[in-house]
Chain A
Amino acid sequence: MTPFDYDRATEVTQAIDAGRIIAGGTNLLDLMKLGVETPDRLTDINRLDLKTIEEHQGGLRIGALVSNSDLAADARVRRDWPVLSRALLSGASGQLRNMATTGGNLLQRTRCYYFQDVSSPCNKRDPGSGCAAMGGATRLHAILGGSEHCIATHPSDMAVAMQALDASVEIEGRDGARTVPLSRFYLLPGDRPDIETELEPGELITAVTLPPPPPGRQTYRKVRDRASYAFALVSVAGIVAMEDGRIAQAALAFGGVAPRPWRDPEVETALAGREPTAETFDAAADILLRDAEGHGGNDFKIPLLRRTLRAVLTDLTTEG
């Protein structure tokens, strides 16, 4: 690690336009040890009063410092937003979930091998240096939403569930507070993969809000290289409400396949009002994958995503 000054914020105002923010530290300290992150100043926000989950407009307001463990174990989340609880529990390890926070989970960085290796070119880490994943190992990489400059995936499970649940992000800055829907929070890489979110320098995430529980059944399905403690190759957060044997509405978000938790409204439109048949599911997958592009090592994700979507939709539309 390169040297840094350490300070601690005890009020939110002290964490705005402050040093590099550290909360759980599980991703930041890892990247500092690798030399990917080299902050001059760290501002520790763990003493801020952002650790409560409160009921809010029929939904929930989750403080930015609520740990992944506490959020997954919350009785309301387990009962009314089980897709979120399951997504959280499918990520990382028990130790890491105890440390990792809600805000930090949203802002965690890609696990692209080349982003984490400072000897490789990477447009995200070092803008303009190139992309070593192009023509390199791409098992973890994106099939949707990438650009010629970057095909890194967003690694979060939690954010995929939140994307399906229409969550919003509350942000404080020097000009006051604002709220950004999660659907607009993450940016696609284009020619600036180093700019990942709507968050401006100096701003702080203070909470994530969930709207009231959606009707229907919820699930989170994660496919990975080992049974536990691995990042998603493909994941699907699904919420489906049935009416008279037909799909009334569906919300679907996808992890491990794109630079952000991926959601495609046209897929959901294609399912609404349809009978839950293999043809319906395949038609939805055709729409989801219409612009999918493999890069060799991740070609398998295209059929895998289709099959995982089909499995999730079958599960959510079958009684019992």
Chain B
Amino acid sequence: MRTTLTINGATHDVDADPRTTLLDALRNHLGLTGTKKGCDHGQCGACTVIADGRRINSCLTLACMMDGVEITTIEGLGEPGDLLPLQDAFVRHDGYQCGYCTPGQICSATAMLDEVAQGWPSVVTDDLTGDASLTDAEIAERMSGNLCRCAAYPNIVDAIKDAADRTADQREAAE
């Protein structure tokens, strides 16, 4: 069946069996192989993309369900020479080893920082009605859907905290 997908601002007509997941459409039909297949069951987060501003597991949604939805993949989040602060922070803090989970980590963290900016609490937030501060425990909890089998977790947490601080500094400077 035919579906029009909007990926990183560009539209693509995809003709695929209804069984095709968004993940497989990205990788096998559109050649966007930055999004990785890990477990293919929503347990590892390697396939995380951003759909209408929200992080999702692309392995657990069908491509045919996603027409009209704005999808952002790692290919849409910066490039060599023009990295996002988060990508730059992952490089500087060595937030990976093999790198396989990294696109999912970056997409997930990008949307996670938006969730924090919107005031969404997490289960480790003491006061559900107050503002959440981005402690190490908050980052670990909010990123628990992204596994790193090389266990680069401490550096991933440092990178995310660094990027969040820089973004906050930039925001203050702009104001």
Contacts and interface: CB of A to CB of B under 8 A. Distances in A.
B60 A29 contact: yes
Contacts of B64: 6, 44
Contacts of A154: none
Contacts of B19: 1, 3-4
A228 B144 contact: yes
B108 A94 contact: yes
B122 A89 contact: yes
Given A6-B1, A26-B60, A42-B18, A73 B145 contact: no
B45 to A, nearest CB: 6
Interface in B14-50: 17-19, 21, 40-42, 45, 48
A25 B55 contact: no
Contacts, number: 100
A5 B55 CA distance: 27
A75 B119 CA distance: 10
Contact of A95 (B21, B56, B62, B65): B56
A176 to B, nearest CB: 29
Interface in A248-283: none
Nearest to B53: A98
Q: Which of A75, A82, A99 has the most CB of B within 10 A?
A: A99
Interface in A58-114: 69, 72-73, 75, 78-79, 82, 85-86, 89-90, 92-96, 98-99
B115 interface: yes
Interface in A182-233: 227-229
A229 B45 CA distance: 12
A237 to B, nearest CB: 14
7 contacts: A26-B42, A73-B118, A79-B128, A79-B129, A96-B42, A228-B141, A228-B144
Interface of B: 1, 17-19, 21, 40-42, 45, 48, 54-57, 60-62, 64-65, 108, 111-112, 115, 118-123, 128-129, 140-146
Give me the 7 closest cross-chain CB pairs, A-B, nearest first: A93-B145, A228-B144, A89-B123, A6-B18, A229-B144, A78-B128, A98-B54
